[in-house]
Amino acid sequence: MLTIRDNGFYKSRIGKIETKKGVVETPFFMPIATKGSIKHVSPEEILQIGYQLVLGNTYHLWLHPGDELVNRAGGLHKFMNWQGSILTDSGGFQVFSLGARAKKNFGSSGVKLTEKGAEFSDHTNGNRYLLTPEKSIDIQLNLDSDIIMCLDECPPYPCSYEDADKSLELTTRWAERCFKYFHKKVSENKEKYKKGRPKLFCIVQGSIYEELRKKSAKQLLEIDFEKLGGPREGWDGFAVGGVAVGEPREKLYEILDWVTPILPKEKPRYLMGLGKPEEIVAAVCAGIDMFDCVIPTREGRHGRIFIWNDEFKTKTIEDLAKNIKEGDDGKKIATFYKTINITNEKFRESFESIDKDCDCYTCKNYTKAYIKHLLAVNEPFAFRLASIHNLAFYYQLMQKLRTK
RNA sequence: GGGUCGGUGGCAGAGUGGUCAAAUGCACCUGACUGUAAAUCAGGCGGCGAAAGCCUACGGGAGUUCAAAUCUCUCCCGGCCCA
């Protein structure tokens, strides 16, 4: 069973985030629209499920179709016809994920990290790109993002103490540059931002080392913000990054225990890239407000479907937290939901919805047998139906976490 | 009727005396997926067995050989050509 911290339970903390596009209640989950689209699901459908904020990606949109083009189109919201808010990732994660891939494919030359920034080569055409903290901010401003992330370095796991230390120091220096540049741009465009500027979040790194995680958080808090030309209160929010990069699962909960008590209570905390439902519940209990993850959409496309266990259909965060057990290996095991692989033979003649009590478009209209069939014959409609249901499940999860 | 080429696992298709229970692809079964180079990736896929192994299998039958999916004969079936 998990303990829910006083300062952790969101109702007693911030409760919502306001962007120029609207109010988003916390804790919340963000579907991922990396290239300007949640794969196979329309913005209208995302809105209908209840989502108010989606994540877009600096790196991908920078290369295609280009942030300036998106800007000419009227910003990402208009370009992709999304009426809610948008958070953009900084591209820091791509330094990590594409770097690992480039290393595997081309040796170490694929991604080069320097003080200045991260130099990539596009493996398809060999084009070189230099992503600097300033460039990342420029791109995100061009996209007209509502929540902008600082460029960070996301170290892989395993990572030595020394490397993690160097990495977090670089992330802090980059964060300072992002902060300075961001507020310079905002003050240069007062007219544009008179109704409200985007928010700027920093990212705590430090791998799996307690000392380093705390050091990272403290460094980011102790920046002389006014000297850098920004407001004294500093960051608009804090992200915990470099998690779920291959480290032992139980480390996540330790990292949150180290970091969240240091962060200001009144500002939102964002756990980047996570996670499974039990991880989200545990993280909310530890004081996290924001999440994003490819799991509901990607796993949906691959046939894994999330389903509530009956007795948890109307439960609240306390009930969910009580039903997370600790496994022998430190993993959290949830009993409030299950997953099925809808491609399994046993669903061939399952002429019933995934969950008769689920009010999503998929469950209201389609059977498991039908979705299994579509997946088996590679019909893209299956991806849409599975994604919608899993996204609805995640939305329901967050609703429960918002309900005391 | 004559000639000729061919018949291989659910399908397509390699293999042309031993290392073949048989490449590869598809289909099928099962898993994985955590700030999305992901409609991707991994494993399994004749039967029995935990395994070693045993049994049954490359159209049917009969041979040659220590050994046959592979060589010979014959039958059946199909494609093409000639009458």
Q: What angle do CA A5, A7, A9 make, to 5 degrees?
A: 65
- Closest nucleotide over all strands to A201 (CA to C1'): B35
Q: Are A35 and A64 in contact (CB under 8 A)?
A: yes
Protein-to-nucleotide distance from the CA of A329 to the C1' of B50, whole angstroms: 27
pLDDT at A95: 79
C1'-nearest nucleotide to the CA of A299? B33
pLDDT < 70 positions in chain A: 1-12, 100-110, 123-126, 328-330, 404
C1’ B3 / CA A121, Å:
64
Catalytic residue among A67, A89, A165, A355: A89
Q: What pLDDT score was predicted for residue A128? A: 81
Closest by Cα among A117, A231, A142, A238 to A183? A231
Cβ contact A317:A285 at 8 Å: yes
pLDDT for position A384: 98
Q: Where are the beta strands (DSSP E) in A273-331?
A: 290-292, 304-308, 324-326
The nucleotide minimizing the C1' distance to residue A92's CA is B35
Per-residue pLDDT, A84:
97
Q: Which tokens belong to A347?
A: 């669903």
* Å between CA of A260 and C1' of B1: 93
| CB-proximal positions of chain B, under 7 Å | 27-41
Question: CA A150 – C1' B71 distance (Å)?
Answer: 75
Nearest nucleotide by C1' position to the A295 CA atom:
B34
Per the structure, the residue whose CA is closest to nucleotide B37 at C1' is: A98
The pair of three-digit structure tokens given for residue A56, joined into one six-digit string: 């877009």
Per-residue pLDDT reduced to its tens digit, A280-300: 999 999 999 999 999 999 999
- Catalytically annotated residue among A138, A146, A152, A292: A292
- C-beta separation of A67 from A61 below 8 A: yes
- CA distances from residue A36 to A78, A85, A251, A286 in whole angstroms, order as listed: 11, 13, 32, 31
Q: Please tell me the distance from the alpha carbon of residue A166 to that of residue A172, in angstroms, as a whole number.
A: 10
What ipTM goes with this model? 0.91
Please say if A89 is a catalytic residue. yes
Portion of chain A with pLDDT greater than 70, in percent: 92
Q: Is A6 a catalytic residue?
A: no
| Distance B83 C1' – A63 CA (angstroms) | 71
Retrieve residue A130's tokens: 């230099």
pLDDT at A6: 44
Angular region, A120: left φ>0, alpha ψ -120 to 50, beta rest: beta
